[in-house]
Amino acid sequence: MELLPLWAWIVFYVLVFVMLIADLKMFGKKGEHEVSIKEALKMTAIWIGVSLVFCAGIYAFYPVDAHEKATEFLAGYLIEKSLSMDNLFVFLMLFSFFGIERKYQHEVLFWGIFGALVLRSIFIFAGAAVVERFEWVLGLFGLFLLYTGAKMFSHNDEQQSDPSQNIVVRLFKKFFPVTTKMHGDKFFIKEGTKRLATPLFITLLVIETTDVAFAVDSIPAVFSVSRDPFIVLTSNIFAILGLRALYFALAAVAQYFTYLKYGLGVILIFVGVKMLLAMNEYINQIFAWIGIELNMPHIEVPTTWSLAFIFGVLVLSMAGSFMTKRAPRS
């Protein structure tokens, strides 16, 4: 159920648009500008600060259950931010595969994030509408999160698929000519009468389609802490807005995140179990249909507990990665 009036949504999207323009102007000049670690850390801190200010705004002005909504925003933001770190390592692999120099990467990431904002908005509005009409879908979300969380423990980083064989890329190449040569920060070039797409644009296509796959994990996960469309949407978008800065901050220290994927697996399993525990009525009905009286109780995990658990798992996985990397030197 939508609690906020239309003007609140409009104001939010105007704010997002202004922040995107500010990000484009302040963080990385257009062209051959290589983003430094210092610049990336500074912008990452700014984005986190802006997100916390927005959370304080929810606490101060949200019309219903402001304290709970602010906590839900923080939990959703932390879930999305942690899962987006996994995205960033995939982006690192894609840039390496397509040979995109660091000085051109910020341009691809800007438009990739812009596309992600549009796609996430569509997915979240559609998901909220489905959940409102068919609550039992949350149970399917929970099962899916259990599956994806468990899959992270068996995933082999060395077994990477060929990004150039992405179905969207192959379809695009059938209708549009592509050059294999880089042309600076240009997505398209003109050779004679032909207009050609560059490897930079192909990389952008792969990043956009990859984000769709990641959204399938992250959006259901955020629904585990809130069913309010505004909270789900804003926590998702604020986490994505700082993704470009976070990428350049993490790219230099990627080696210290060995166990991050295991931490993310634990988080996904946790939110999956949390969803299923709240779906006891539907689970009991399913077992009743097959002749088993389960009587599973309804268990609602408080959002503050979820927030503490997610934060703790992230800290432990990163600390474990750092200590493991430092161990051989001692």
Cα(305)–Cα(50) distance, integer angstroms = 24
* 3-state SS, residue 188: strand
Closest among 173, 209, 196, 188 to 91, alpha carbons compared: 209
Closest among 222, 227, 221 to 143, alpha carbons compared: 221
| In contact, 233 and 121? CB cutoff 8 Å | yes
- The pLDDT value recorded for residue 29 is 52
Q: Which residue has the higher pLDDT, 234 or 220?
A: 234
Q: Is the per-residue pLDDT at 30 higher than 60?
A: no
Distance between alpha carbon 188 and the CA centroid of its chain, in Å?
A: 28
Lowest mean pLDDT among 1-10, 108-117, 279-288, 298-307: 1-10
- The pLDDT value recorded for residue 220 is 85
- The pLDDT value recorded for residue 72 is 93
Please report which confidence band the pLDDT of residue 35 belongs to, taking 50, 70 and 90 as the band edges: low
Percent of the chain with pLDDT over 90: 10
- The pLDDT value recorded for residue 94 is 80
- pLDDT tens digits along 115-174: 888 888 888 888 888 888 888 888 888 888 888 888 888 765 555 556 667 787 888 888
Cα(222)–Cα(236) distance, integer angstroms = 8
SS percent in the chain: helix, strand, coil, step 5 = 75, 5, 25
Domain boundaries, the chain: 6-156+209-329
- The pLDDT value recorded for residue 234 is 93
- The pLDDT value recorded for residue 231 is 93
Cα(152)–Cα(188) distance, integer angstroms = 36
* pLDDT mean over 29-39: 63
Phi, psi of 295, rounded to the nearest 5 degrees: 55, 45
- DSSP letters along 85-120, please? HHHHHHHHHHHHHHT--HHHHHHHHHHHHHHHHHHH
- DSSP letters along 37-71, please? HHHHHHHHHHHHHHHHHHHHHHHHH-SS-HHHHHH
Lowest mean pLDDT among 213-217, 234-238, 299-303: 213-217
What rounded mean pLDDT belongs to the chain?
A: 82
Q: Is the per-residue pLDDT at 6 higher than 60?
A: yes
Q: Is the per-residue pLDDT at 64 higher than 70?
A: yes
* pLDDT mean over 207-230: 82
Catalogue the E-assigned strands of the chain. Answer: 188-191, 194-197
* 3-state SS, residue 118: helix
- The pLDDT value recorded for residue 330 is 46
Percent of the chain with pLDDT over 70: 88
- The pLDDT value recorded for residue 28 is 52
- The pLDDT value recorded for residue 1 is 47
- The pLDDT value recorded for residue 57 is 92
In the chain, how long is the greatest CA-to-CA distance? 73
Please report which confidence band the pLDDT of residue 54 belongs to, taking 50, 70 and 90 as the band edges: very high
Amino acid type, 281: E
Kindly tell me the sign of the dihedral angle through the C-alpha atoms of 135, 139, 145, 147.
negative
Q: How crowded is residue 283: how many other Cβ atoms within 10 Å of its Cβ?
A: 17
- The pLDDT value recorded for residue 67 is 92
- The pLDDT value recorded for residue 34 is 63
